[in-house]
Amino acid sequence: MMRGIRGATTVEVNESGIILEETTRLFQEILSRNNIEPESISHVLVSATKDLDTAFPAKALRSLPGCTHVPVMCMQEIDVPGALEKCIRIMMVAETTAKQQDVQHVFLNEAIKLRPDLVQGE
């Protein structure tokens, strides 16, 4: 079954290395918590808020082992007044045997505020 798996994180500063590092951490946490191998991933959408413009967060995923051929797209998040700043979001679609309610969505740093109902022991 194909499932959508969400994740989000924030960074403190708009620096390329930090953006790439935190995106990698979020992606790897999603894979780990959901027992997903790169071969099972259909595609990954990555968005960043307007205030993050020193790196394409999706670039971090392309260099990870097994992810070279995973389709990844990066885009800008809708700029809504009062929205969480310096935020990176991931929507991964992957094949898994997990039931919908057993999928573990991952929210790190300040992004836990986005969906506190889905935060599991961060």
pLDDT at 63: 86
Below-50 pLDDT ranges, the chain = 122
Give pLDDT tens digits for 41-61. Answer: 999 999 999 999 999 999 999
Specify if 120 maps to a domain: no
Name the domain count of the chain. 1
What is the DSSP secondary structure assignment for residue 19, as one 8-state letter?
A: H
DSSP 54-116: SS-TTHHHHTSTT-TTS-EEEEEPP--TTPPSSEEEEEEEEE-S--GGG---EE-GGGGGT-T
pLDDT at 41: 97
Specify if 10 maps to a domain: yes
pLDDT at 47: 97
* Domain housing 14: 2-113
CATH number of the domain residue 95 falls in: 3.30.1330.40
| Contacts for 114 with CB less than 8 Å, ≥ 6 apart | 8, 84, 87, 107
The H or E element that residue 28 is part of is: helix 16-34
Q: Is the pTM of this model over 0.85?
A: yes
